[in-house]
């Protein structure tokens, strides 16, 4: 596809692809037509139509043009490529220094601050786990780098204890602080996480123009901009244990609105507690594969070398696609600051995995030792990519330490293609 685009418009930018969280419109997308249209002074629809017409007929995707975006839906996947995508590799960004700034909030914006703090902490933990040179600045007084061995939950506690509301209520002062940080640091990428209404529109625009090449401003979505959420529970977080705080950080980074926050979730074993949900799902999956017995010799849509996704049940196809792109979401949380999208991808993959395992016919096939080769490949593959990511997610390791004494550590798929550990 890239070669086709360059043949038509040699001076155009790369045809970048991005995995989609909502698979109703496709599996991955590209804004190539919008970017090229501005460069070539042509309508995006014309760019897209010419490109699609020139694509090779044997591409393993169906392509649609929706409001200037190219949306791709996979029709088949080489098993070799599938297995390679499931191997979570260290992020290759060691030469790039990354700086994360979290702007403290006034009391009125405390919940929004917790949200941005949680997103920043997750990104920082992934960066340092992958050996990327990085620093985390929480206001003027707290700074941590990738060599710090302080647990993320300890940093979280320090950040909550150090907030001085009166120092961070002025938009101009916040903008000046960020501009000073940008001037004094040579980091190739600077992420600024802003609580709700920390900056006026004017100061936001000025900052955006000031450091456009390496500055990324990360604010709250609309569902977090206005909230009637009761904040009294925020003051009790300092008394929670590390396991509960780890679950809370991941919970706050999720897609739910502030009004829908339930302070009990991080301390309970339920679906909304994502770390607990992943832990249970992994144990259940390995148990099912272990009880599957011999593999059925015939499997629809799988010939040993290629997955024919068009011939698969909807839940099996969605699980395959979500697992295929899960590592990419992890990488983008690290180097692109797309933490919310990463957490959402984890939630969706876990939910679809449970839906896949809950299918009565599939459970019956396990009991009858007629589990197909394709189903076995999918289940072991999903377990492998999930365990690979969770092994590199510090908050999950903190959470596991809280139940380790009970001997309840989850099982993980081994590195071999079909071995179960």
DSSP for 133-169, written as a single string = -EEEEETTTEEEETT----HHHHHHHHHHH--GGGG-
Pair 44, 37: CB distance under 8 Å = yes
Q: How confident is the model at residue 145 (pLDDT cuts 50, 70, 90)?
A: very high
With tokens 């070669």, the residue in question is 3
Pair 320, 309: CB distance under 8 Å = yes
Selection from 288, 262, 267, 230 nearest residue 411 by Cα: 288
Give the distance between the most distant pair of CA atoms in the chain. 69
Give the domains, in start order, of the chain with CATH numbers: 2-74 (3.30.1360.70), 98-239 (3.40.50)
pLDDT at residue 304, as a whole number: 63
The residue with greater pLDDT, 297 or 112, is 112
Tell me the whole-structure pTM to 2 decimals. Answer: 0.87
Model pLDDT for residues 197-211, shown as the tens digit of each residue: 788 888 888 888 876
List, in order, residues 6 or more apart from 364 with CB less than 8 Å away.
none
Strand order across the beta sheet in which 98-102 lies:
142-145, 134-138, 98-102, 189-193, 215-218
Model pLDDT for residues 359-396, shown as the tens digit of each residue: 888 888 777 777 777 788 888 889 889 999 999 999 99
Weakest mean pLDDT among 107-116, 210-219, 300-309: 300-309
Model pLDDT for residues 88-127, shown as the tens digit of each residue: 877 765 447 899 999 886 655 677 888 899 999 999 999 9
Q: What percent of the chain has pLDDT over 90?
A: 34
Selection from 143, 177, 174 nearest residue 158 by Cα: 143
List, in order, residues 6 or more apart from 273 with CB less than 8 Å away.
247, 251, 265, 266
Selection from 128, 398, 26, 404 nearest residue 240 by Cα: 398
Strand, helix or coil at 5? Answer: helix
Strand, helix or coil at 29? Answer: strand
End-to-end CA distance of the chain: 39
Q: In this model, does residue 85 exceed pLDDT 50?
A: yes
Give the C-alpha distances (Å, rounded to integers) separating 98 from 126, 216, 217, 396.
Answer: 12, 11, 14, 23
Average pLDDT (287-300) is 55
Pairwise CA distance, residues 201 & 219, whole Å: 12
Model pLDDT for residues 12-62, shown as the tens digit of each residue: 878 888 898 889 889 999 999 999 988 888 999 999 999 999 999 888 999
* Average pLDDT over the chain, rounded to an integer: 82
Q: What percent of the chain has pLDDT over 70?
A: 85
pLDDT at residue 237, as a whole number: 85
Run of H or E residues at 189 = strand 189-193
Helix axis angle for 339-358 and 110-129, nearest 10°, is 80
Selection from 8, 5, 182, 16 nearest residue 99 by Cα: 182
């Amino acid at each position: 596809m890239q070669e086709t685009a360059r043949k038509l418009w040699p001076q155009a930018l790369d045809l970048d692809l991005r995995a989609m969280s909502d698979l109703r419109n496709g599996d991955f997308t590209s804004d190539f037509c919008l970017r090229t249209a501005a460069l070539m002074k042509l309508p995006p629809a014309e760019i897209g139509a010419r490109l699609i017409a020139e694509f090779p007929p044997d591409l393993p995707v169906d392509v649609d043009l929706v409001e200037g975006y190219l949306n791709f839906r996979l029709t088949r996947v080489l098993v070799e490529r599938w297995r390679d995508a499931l191997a979570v590799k260290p992020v290759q960004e060691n030469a790039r220094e990354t700086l994360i700034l979290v702007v403290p909030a006034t009391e009125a914006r405390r919940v929004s601050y917790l949200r941005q703090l949680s997103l920043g902490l997750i990104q920082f933990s992934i960066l340092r786990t992958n050996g990327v040179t990085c620093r985390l600045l929480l206001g003027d007084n707290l700074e941590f780098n990738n060599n710090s061995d302080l647990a993320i939950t300890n940093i979280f506690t320090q950040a909550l204890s150090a907030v001085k509301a009166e120092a961070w209520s002025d938009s101009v002062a916040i903008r000046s602080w960020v501009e000073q940080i940008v001037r004094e640091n040579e980091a190739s990428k600077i992420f600024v996480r802003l609580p709700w209404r920390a900056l006026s529109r004017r100061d936001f625009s000025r900052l955006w123009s000031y450091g456009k090449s390496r500055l990324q401003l990360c604010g709250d979505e609309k569902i977090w901009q206005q909230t009637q959420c009761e904040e009294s529970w925020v003051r009790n977080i300092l008394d929670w244990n590390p396991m509960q705080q780890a679950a809370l950080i991941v919970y706050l980074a999720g897609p739910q609105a502030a009004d829908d926050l339930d302070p009990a979730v991080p301390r309970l074993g339920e679906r909304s507690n994502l770390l607990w949900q992943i832990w249970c799902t992994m144990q259940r999956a390995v148990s099912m594969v272990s009880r599957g017995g011999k593999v059925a010799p015939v499997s629809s849509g799988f010939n040993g070398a290629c997955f024919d996704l068009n011939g698969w049940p909807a839940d099996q196809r969605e699980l395959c696609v979500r697992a295929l792109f899960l590592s990419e979401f992890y990488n983008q949380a690290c180097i692109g600051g797309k933490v919310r999208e990463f957490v959402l991808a984890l939630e969706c993959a876990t939910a679809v995995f449970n839906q896949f395992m809950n299918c009565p016919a599939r459970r019956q096939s396990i009991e009858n030792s007629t589990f197909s080769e394709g189903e076995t490949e999918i289940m072991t593959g999903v377990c492998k990519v999930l365990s690979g990511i969770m092994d590199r997610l510090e908050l999950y390791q903190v959470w596991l330490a809280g139940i380790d004494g009970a001997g309840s550590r989850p099982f993980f798929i081994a590195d071999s293609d079909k071995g179960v550990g």
